[in-house]
Structures are given as C-alpha cells and as structure tokens.
Amino acid sequence: MNSQPKVALLVETARGYGRQMLRGIVRYSRLHGPWGFCLTPGDFEQAVPKVREWGGTGIIARIETPRVAQAILDSGLPTIVLDLSRSQLAAESPLLRFSEVKSGSSDAGVMAAEYLIQRGFREFAFVGIPDRVWSKDREEGFCKAIRNAGFDVHVYQPPKSRRERVLEREQPRLAKWLASLPRPIAVMACNDDRGREVAEACHFADIKIPEELVLIGVDNDELLCELADPPLSSVALNATGVGFRAAELLDRMMKGQVVEPQCLIAEPLSVVTRRSTDMIAIDDPEVVEALRFIHDRSNEPIQVADILRRVDISRRNLELRFSRTVGRTLHAELQRVRLERARTLLAESDLSVPKIATASGYGTPSYFIQVFRTTYGTTPSRYRRDLRGERDAAKPTIES
C-alpha cells in the first residue's frame, strides 16, 4: 500500500504571495516527505479534485466560491484554509472547523505607516478593496498607527456596485479622488495589485510618483512591483515561512495528532523600497541628505563620521536637527536601516550569516550578531529558522 501523503493545493500561482507559500510547502515536503501534490495553476478560483479517483489525504486551499467550500467539506479530509472572508467567519459557518492561515494584515498596515512617517510625510491616504477581511485589517492597522502619531488619513470609498468596480469604470473615479488630496502625500494600497491600479490612476490624473505622491503596497510580488510605473515599494510578508508551518501542521493533522483548529500568521517582515517611495518629505535639506546617504549606503561599513563628511556641517548641529526631525540619532538610524536590511536578507535569501553581515554594512559577523541579539533578543540564525518554521532542523553555526 502506498502511504505517501497526497495533498491538494488550491493556492493561487498567479500571485507572488501564493507562489511564496507554495515554496514553503515544497521545502517541508522535501525535508519530511516526499508528498504527492495536486495543483491546478491559475488565479484565485480553483477546483477540488474528486477525492475517490485522486486518493488525497489533505488539502490547503483558498476558498473563493460556495461550490469549492462544499466540495472540501464533503471530502472530509484534513484541511487548512487561507484568509477566510467575513461571511466565512460568521459564527454558524461550517468552515470554522478548519485551521486557517492568515496574513498579518494589521501589523502590515502598522509597518507601512511607520515607514512613511519616518520618511517625513504628514499627509496620508489608504486605498483598499471591498469585502476582503485582510484589506480592512490593513486599513485599520494603517489608520490607527497614523492617527496615534497625530495625523489624519484620507480613505478611498470604492463604488458599491460590483459593475462599477471594473478597473476601466473605476479609474476616473479613483483618479479624481487622488487629484483632490493634498500634496505631497503618502498612500498605502491594500496589496500590490491595488497599488498598480493606484499608480495607473495617478498617471490618468497627471500626478507625479514619487515627487507628489509616494505609494506602497503589500505582498512584495516582485513581478507586479517591477511592472508598476514606477516600480512599487511593498511590505513583504513571510509567506514562505507560513507555508512551511502550514505543511508541518497539515502533516500532524493527517497523522491524527491535531484535531482542534489552529491559526497561523504570515507576519510582515520588512518594507522593500523601490522607486515609488524614493522621496523624503522633510524641509531640512541637510537632514534629507544625511538620510539619503544612510539609506543608499546601508550595505557599506560607513560610520557617523562619513555622514558628517558628506553633509559638511558640525556634528552637534546635524545631530540636533536630525534627532528633532527624525526622532533618532544618526547612529540609531544607521543601525535601524542596517538591521532592516539584514532581516530582509535572512528571510528572503540563503546567504550565510557572515555574508549577510558584510552585505548589511557590518565590519565583522561577531559585531553583527551582538547588535542583532541585543535588538531582537535572538541570534540571526535562530531568527531565520523561526521564520521558516525549521526549529527542529537547526544546524550548528558560528553563533552556537
């Protein structure tokens, strides 16, 4: 008898988030499988294979239609679902029996807000998608963080009619709304798809990005972000790591070790900066120059003295103005930017810790590990393993 698990993956392959999650699932299968997979490449709507002919043992699925929901319920298989809708989360919904993977949407909104505030903006807006829980959560996280910082947020209200939400029909409305906003302004779109639509509406309204409006999305779908004009900055989510953890949970469910539904979160990792946010809305030109130098040279072992030589004013003068404007010292900002770069590399690359230390501007791996441990309470290697859900697969490193 063939005991190899066979898992149906009803996960969109036309989007970066889905592809990243699938990478995590495949990584788990290679380490703990092998598994057989049933996958229908495409966008959000999928089809459940006929269980009897297919011989499946588990399902990981985004449920977009009642037909798919019923087919999964009828299968009786261990199932993990992705980002349930508000109606699917209702108290009487039979889908609540399933474990769920959710994006860390509220935290992604907070991360985007903090990033834009740090760049000196004082006017903010949000563009979401109706009827999506994750979009509303991102809006709420973003707006709360902006308002806690003492600013207001303009929130776009999409058409109520689905017919009017078709891009060709909605674009003039969105463009008119964007044109009515004060400038310069920082706009968060609920995901990269919506970010590209906002960028197109800006072109329609003759709004310059990033000179008049900076724009950030979520998911860091590299293809979509690079296809945007200009390329779109985005909050990267730990989709690969949560895919690994979802596969681990499903494995335990298929073995009868887990019965109660669980919830896994794809937490935000960092903001990947591209041209759409390459603008600092600060009136002090020396502070702007110092910030640009820090951000542009985050991969080099620069010191505060190098920043001072670039700006060419006294250290005390620059430190006072920088701290008053940015809220941190030059050294603290330099460390923050380096650590953000390091965390991104730990999450998204397989570079060794020493190579990441060098690529993040640290002179020695030992100093990098010391700063990382002091800031985050863990070592770089443990941080990477925790993100990927690979705690049990740890190997000795220079940190041990």
pLDDT at 396: 38
Using one digit for the tens of pLDDT, what is the confidence trace for 179-204?
Answer: 999 999 999 999 999 999 999 999 99
Question: How far is the C-alpha of 133 from the C-alpha of 135, rounded, in Å?
Answer: 5
Q: What angle do CA 81, 82, 88 make, to 5 degrees?
A: 75
Residues 6 or more apart in contact with residue 376 via CB below 8 angstroms? 339, 383
Condensed to tens digits (0 to 9), the pLDDT of residues 83-133 reads: 998 888 888 899 999 999 999 999 999 999 999 998 889 999 999 998 889
The count of residues in the chain is 400
Spatial separation of the C-alpha atoms in residues 247 and 239, rounded to whole Å: 12
Report how far residue 183's alpha carbon sits from residue 123's, in angstroms, rounded to the nearest whole number.
7
Write down the residue that tokens 């303009």 correspond to: 154
Q: How far apart are CA 46 and CA 62, in angstroms?
A: 8
Of the candidates 281, 302, 304, 399, the one whose C-alpha atom is nearest the C-alpha of residue 346 is 399
Domains of the chain (ranges; CATH) run: 6-103+239-268 (3.40.50.2300), 105-237+271-277 (3.40.50.2300), 285-393 (1.10.10.60)
Cα–Cα distance, 249 to 257 (Å, whole number): 9
pTM over 0.85: no
